Amino acid sequence: MDSFFKEAILSFKTSGTIRPSSKYLIHACLKDIDFERAENIIEFGAGNGCITSEIISRKRKSTNLYSFELNEKFYNHCKKRFHNEDGLHLIHGSVLEFDKILESQKINSVDYFISSLPLSLFEKSTINSIIGKVIPHMNNDGMFIQYLYSFNRYKLLRKHFNQVAMDMTLLNLPPAIIFKCKK
């Protein structure tokens, strides 16, 4: 992608960042995922595909990865970059529609949700709508993984999930907090 920075700034309200995730943040987000067991993974916010790429490299070919991207330039970049990947379903649209996509594919449960959404910039009602759709689709032993650059949505995550573990990576610009949430 020619200029991640430029596109991220132009769409800051939906991208929430100015730089792609570092390899350290990607590792921290994905380290607790059992890729041998996972059948369905959903990624909210593919961006330039840096996390998508790592998920693809670790998942089984038979695992479905549904990756949502709202930004047209990021979506087109990922579409071109990942055009031949087995099990990748790249969707240009809102994460608020993920449940309809799952229903159309007859998928009842998801093992992992990985979210790059800038929840700190979202209205609480939007976050409640997203998480309200995630929980019924998440396996009982599944996980919702969300990284943010502040703690301001911790209480909201605790309201929805029984377990919220936190990890942090300082080796990212800016440093990030990773929330790992379970039913």
The stretch 10-21 carries a mean pLDDT of 52
Residue 17's pLDDT band, with cuts at 50, 70 and 90, is low
- Residue 121 belongs to domain with CATH number: 3.40.50.150
Domain count, the chain: 1
Residue 90 has a pLDDT of 98
Residue 21 has a pLDDT of 81
Q: Is the model's pLDDT at 16 over the cut of 50?
A: no
Residue 2's pLDDT band, with cuts at 50, 70 and 90, is low
CA 47 – CA 116 distance, rounded (Å): 8
Structural domain boundaries, residue 80: 4-182
